[in-house]
Structure 1
């Protein structure tokens, strides 16, 4: 395989993994939106049946949650991007000052991946002949210099996924008649948690059954606790 083909192959694998990571993050963000907003509106519904109060509380929870998720993801990805840039700068300096040591290090990494000493040395020389920084970054650091994480994209994705998940319990707690709000919301939320748990497990390569069960139990427990608290506070008032 030529250096160019190997580079393209590695890039396509990393791109695929990157898309899977984004999908997993989107599913988890939607799941968080479903659980946190459902817990909030079900808790409020335990205290009052007033539609305006439920809508106001639900919207406040949706905005607070989505903005918090976006801000947290932005800060986290900025820190990751800074660490990636620092690692690339250090690798660039080491390659400039000690090119032979860099090639030996790349050879050692390739040997650890199963190549013989001779083949690993030849591969390291070929990979380093055109763009040593990119070769070392991909093989040694697992970083593609052309595809560093984007904090703004991560923040927007988290905001949108959380909002999408939060809209389900918010709409279901205010649209049906008063007597149907809780059962419709609870059943729909549990179905949504089955779906997000299943999709998240499939994307992560995990067993779906335990993941779905944990998701459903966690969401049901959150709604039960907040409803009980809301009912007690509503009765006290």
Structure 2
């Protein structure tokens, strides 16, 4: 029988990194632009600060994602090595452990024992990795994929407020960057919700609220230092 259902769980790794990157790119760059503009900088200074923020942010996102996801991958690898050693040393005990897991999930003891025995005969390490450790190919850590997705989408998100700076006059820049960035964040929430199968309104409201708060606080700090100067 053909499996026709379409699930989105396999997208979790890259989708999380992509949404995080794009959200940070829009919020951090828009906030930086608003803060520098509120302090009284000219358009050239705002563009320099925004571009520097784009480059630094993209590299930071890539490095951060790679390091954090690599740590997860190292932990998964260490657990698999330990499990392989345990299977080699105590196969009977490991089969009993797998049987107990299936009993807890609702199988009767005889069926659980038969399932555990057959799965261990087919792929003992795979069965224990999936059902005991919660490690699967779908959700496995992929450091390079996460780093590239995060850095790439950060750059795309960061470019958007900078384009607004170029397109609008200085007199309208603050409002243009604020409103357009909130629209970009709303669109990001909608797209990410569609890709992940989540409620659209909740996702869009979440990213828009936190983005608005970040921009307001940064603009306030810039205005404070601009007045102080």
Normalising by structure 2, report the TM-score. 0.88
Provide, for residues 154-174 of structure 1, a one-character-per-residue CA deviation record: whole Å limited to 9, x for no partner: 211111111111111122123
Q: Secondary structure at the match of 1:141?
A: coil
CA contact (8 A) 1:174 1:181 kept: no
Comparing 151-160 and 226-235, the one that deviates more:
226-235
1:23 is matched with: 15
Matched, 1:191 2:183: yes
CA contact (8 A) 2:83 2:125 kept: yes
Matched, 1:69 2:65: no
- CA distance in 1: counterparts of 2:137 and 2:12, whole angstroms: 19
Which of these residues, 109, 130, 133, is aligned with residue 138 of structure 1? 130
- CA distance in 2: counterparts of 1:145 and 1:191, whole angstroms: 36
- CA distance in 2: counterparts of 1:233 and 1:27, whole angstroms: 32
Shift of 1:145: 6.3
Alignment of 1:68-107 (within 5 A): 68-107=60-99
- CA distance in 2: counterparts of 1:225 and 1:129, whole angstroms: 59
Q: Describe the shift of the 1:217–1:105 C-alpha distance in structure 2 as closer, same or farther (beyond 3 A).
A: same
2:151 is matched with: 159
2:214 is matched with: 222
- CA distance in 2: counterparts of 1:169 and 1:215, whole angstroms: 16
Provide, for residues 86-125 of structure 1, a one-character-per-residue CA deviation record: whole Å limited to 9, x for no partner: 1001110010000001111111111111111111111111
Provide, for residues 170-193 of structure 1, a one-character-per-residue CA deviation record: whole Å limited to 9, x for no partner: 221233222232222111111112
RMSD between aligned residues = 2.5
Shift of 1:143: 1.4
Q: Describe the shift of the 1:61–1:174 C-alpha distance in structure 2 as closer, same or farther (beyond 3 A).
A: same
- CA distance in 2: counterparts of 1:169 and 1:127, whole angstroms: 53
Matched, 1:213 2:205: yes
- CA distance in 2: counterparts of 1:128 and 1:145, whole angstroms: 18
Normalising by structure 1, report the TM-score. 0.85
Shift of 1:235: 3.5
- CA distance in 1: counterparts of 2:106 and 2:194, whole angstroms: 29
Provide, for residues 31-88 of structure 1, a one-character-per-residue CA deviation record: whole Å limited to 9, x for no partner: 1111111100011111235221111100111111111111111111111011001100
CA contact (8 A) 1:137 1:145 kept: no
Matched, 1:234 2:229: no
Number of residue pairs matched? 227
